[in-house]
Structures are given as C-alpha cells and as structure tokens.
Structure 1
Amino acid sequence: MLALLKPLDIAALGLFAFCWLAYEPVLVRLARRNGQAINTDMHVIRTAWMGNMARRENRLVDGALLGNVLNSASFFASSNLILIAAVASALFSGETAFRSASSLVVLKTSTRALFEMQLGLVLITLARGLLDYIWAIRQLNYAIAAIGAVPSETDRSVEFGAVIARLLNPALSSFNAGARGYYFALAAAAWLFGPLPFVIATVGAVVLLLWRQRGSRAAVAIADLRRMIEDEGD
C-alpha cells in the first residue's frame, strides 16, 4: 500500500501516526516536568473527590455526578458509532463513492487505492475512539458499584477513596482519549484534500489540544484548584 503513495503522502502519514500515538505519553512527560496539564491535575482533584465521598453518609450527589458522566460517555459512543457507519458505508461503496469524490475539485484522490486509504485512516481513528468510550463506560460502571460498596461508617475512608479514585481516573482518561479521537479523525479527514492540508490539520490538532491542556483559562483554573487541594492536604 505504501508503495502507491507519493513521498509527501508517506511523510504526512508518518507525522500523523507519531502525533496520534505519542500525544498522550508526551503530554504526561511534559506535565511531570512543568507540573501543569488538565488531565494530570484532574487526577489529584478526582482523588480528593473520592476521599470526600468516602467520608459522606449520603452519597446520592456523587452517584448522580458519575451517572451524568456515564450518560455523556454513552452519548459520545453512540455518536461515534454513527460516524463509523457513515465512513464505512463510503469506504465499502467501491467505485461509486470514488467517482463521486473524484468529481469534487477540492478533493485530492488520484486513485481509488489512495481514496480507500484516506477513508480507512478516518475509520481507524474513530474505531479507536469508540473502543476508548466503551472501556470508559465499563470502568465507570465499576466505579459506581465501588461507591455503593463503601461502608457508611468506617475508619478507612481515605483508603477507600484512594482505591476508588484508581478506578475513576483511568475511566475518565479513557473518556478523554475517546474525545481526543475526534480531533485526530478530523485531521485524518484532511488527507482527502491533499498531503499538505493533512500536515497542517495534524499539527493544528496537536497545538490546539496542548493549548487547551496547558494554556487555556480552564487549565489555569484547574491548576490553581489542584494547588489549593494539595495545600489543604499539607
């Protein structure tokens, strides 16, 4: 398949693969070095939340909040599945879809094989996002059950809270990975317009994600909250 691609297409595809697969590990390393990113700050905030939850007798609010997150994950998973079905329909329509795409001046689909690779990449990114959402939903269900299992009166509330946070944090990390998949799916779709738009969209997606993680007003507020929680713990 790669033999059918031009050098610029191969370079753009390699850049996309690197950004897509390396984004999260690189973000974690940057957060450890500089100490600010929404995803890592939220780990501390959720751990504090679960610690407070374990000390409360009435946990209806905590259950309701997690229920809302579960509904959001289910909604995005359903939306993702619809998008996958749409892209798969175009991919498996064969010559008809290729001719329709080729008739559009803005699309750069020189061969049917290239067109199928372009759609296939979008499909793969969406499918990975769907799997992340499904795993997030399962873990959220585990976390809800764990909250219900915490005794109402216990001297080990801190320990219970810490253990449940170890369930909740990976669940919401999977949710974040699913949401991030939309950014990269849009970048992958830009390949239909040519390798240069593909490169620009990929770099743009990474820059936008990093800015939202580290430079947005939400990121600054969450970092301040994390510091306040850590100060209270001291």
Structure 2
Amino acid sequence: MDFAYWLNEHLIDVLATAWFFICWIGYSEFSRKRAKKVHCLSSVLQQYRKQWILRMLRRDNRIGDVAIIANLERNASFLASTSILVIAGLVTAVASTDKIHVLLTGLPFSEANISPLQLQFKILLLLFVHVFAFFTFTWSMRQYGFSAILLGSTPMHDEDTSNDPSNNFAFNFAKVIDQAGHSYNYGLRAYYFSMAILAWLFNTWLFLLAVAFVVAILYAREFHSKTLKTMIRAGELKGQTQALK
C-alpha cells in the first residue's frame, strides 16, 4: 500500500485531525495575543493577582494567603488525579478496541464503515490529550508550590516598600502565580477539546461541529461572559493598561 492510496482512504480522518489541532493550538495563540489588547478573564486576573500580592505585603497575618494558594493547588491536583484515572481507562479501551467497535457501530448516528484501526486512532488521540492535560496540571501544581515558598520568604510588613506599585518582589510573585494559572487554564482547555473527540467516536461531521462548538464556548466565556464584565466593574479595571505582560 503506497502513501497516496493510504491518504486517499483516510483523507477525511487526516483533515479532521488537522482541524482539531488547528482549532486547539490556534485558539490558544489567538487568546494569548487577544488578551494583550482587550480585557479577558486571564488579563483581568493578572490585575487582581498583583493587587492581591501588594495587599499581602501590607499585612502581618498571611494565613488567608496561604489558604488561597493551597486551594488553587488543590484544584489543579484534583484534575491531575482525574487525568490519571482517565488515562488508565483509555489504555484499557485501546486494548479492547474490537469490543468497543461492535458496540459503537450499533448506535444511532454512528458511522457504519469505521474500522477498528480508525477507532483505535481516535482513542489514542483522546489519550494524548489527557496525557497533555496531566502534564499541564502537574506543572501548575508545582508552580503553586513555588508560590507557597515565595510566600514563606515574603519580607515582613514594611510601609515604605509595600506602598510602591512597582515593587519588584510583588511583581514577580504575582507573575509566578499567573503562570500557574495559565498552566491550569491550558489543562482545562485540553479537557474541553477532549469532549469534542468523544463525538468523533460516533461521527466525523459531528466531531467537526463539536470542535467548533468548543472554540465558541471558550471564546464566549473568556472574552464576553457576565463573570468577566462583573470582575471588570468590581475592580474598576476598564481603561487601565495591562499588567504582567
């Protein structure tokens, strides 16, 4: 079997896979660059994180700050643990492709001409996405751990330095927490796009629509959600320059 024949036989699957990665990677790049021009959840949270650290420097009691970082790390830890369970299930599914194939081909809207090999590829793609999510969540956990160490090394309350908005320690502390938040967000996006792959187990066209739907949901929530508008109003961030770029 030459490559041209193979490509002709699996052209739709190749295009669908390309569509998936273009939307996933493309949206990540789009949102990153868009956040530098307009307000979104990530850019607004950047402002709040720096405000948080600046206020923390003015307090002697930082037990609440420790609790916040621990809670953020716990969220990433939960999803990392969930990814391990999903990965274990998908590895089992790869070994049972024939049984799953028989089950899926009998369901409504399922493509009757799908081969066990094609099904195995789709499960492997789903496995890849969750492995990626696991690494991003664990990296987020580590970064929150670094933040806890920075919190422990925070200078004691000093009015002269804590009132300085360009405080170098506060800026870099907030930057570490911000990077941890970005890693957590990348992992969440991987979870969203993995939901679209589930549609591919049934129908390719349904998968293409599901990927587009995920992009639309992510864009609406990150750039036009009511939560974003409320956070902007709460912090009076409208018109301010972006921090921590």
Give the counterpart of 1:180 among 189, 203, 226.
189
Change (3 A) 1:147 1:60: same
Cα shift at 1:230: 4.8
Which stretch shifts more, 162-171 or 102-111?
102-111
Structure 2: gaps (5+ residues): none
Aligned CA RMSD, in angstroms, stands at: 2.3
1: CA distance, partners of 2:239 / 2:50: 10
Contact 1:45–1:229 at 8 Å: present in 2 too? no
> Are 1:50 and 2:70 an aligned pair?
no
Contact 2:44–2:237 at 8 Å: present in 1 too? no
Residues 11-63 of structure 1 show CA distances to partners (whole Å, capped at 9, x for unaligned) of 22211111111222101222223x11101221121111111112211111011
Cα shift at 1:101: 3.1
Change (3 A) 1:217 1:90: same
Change (3 A) 1:163 1:32: closer
Question: Map of 1:1-234 to 2, 5 A cutoff?
Answer: 3=7, 6-33=10-37, 35-108=38-111, 110-154=114-158, 155-157=160-162, 158-224=167-233, 225=235, 227=237, 230=240
Change (3 A) 1:152 1:99: same
1: CA distance, partners of 2:42 / 2:155: 29
SS in 2 for 1:110: coil
**Greater per-residue helix proportion:** 1
Cα shift at 1:3: 2.9
Residues 59-103 of structure 1 show CA distances to partners (whole Å, capped at 9, x for unaligned) of 110110111111111111111211111122111224333333334
TM-score (norm 2): 0.86
1: CA distance, partners of 2:146 / 2:176: 7
TM-score (norm 1): 0.90
Cα shift at 1:10: 2.4
Structure 1: gaps (5+ residues): none
1: CA distance, partners of 2:33 / 2:143: 25
Percent identity (aligned): 25
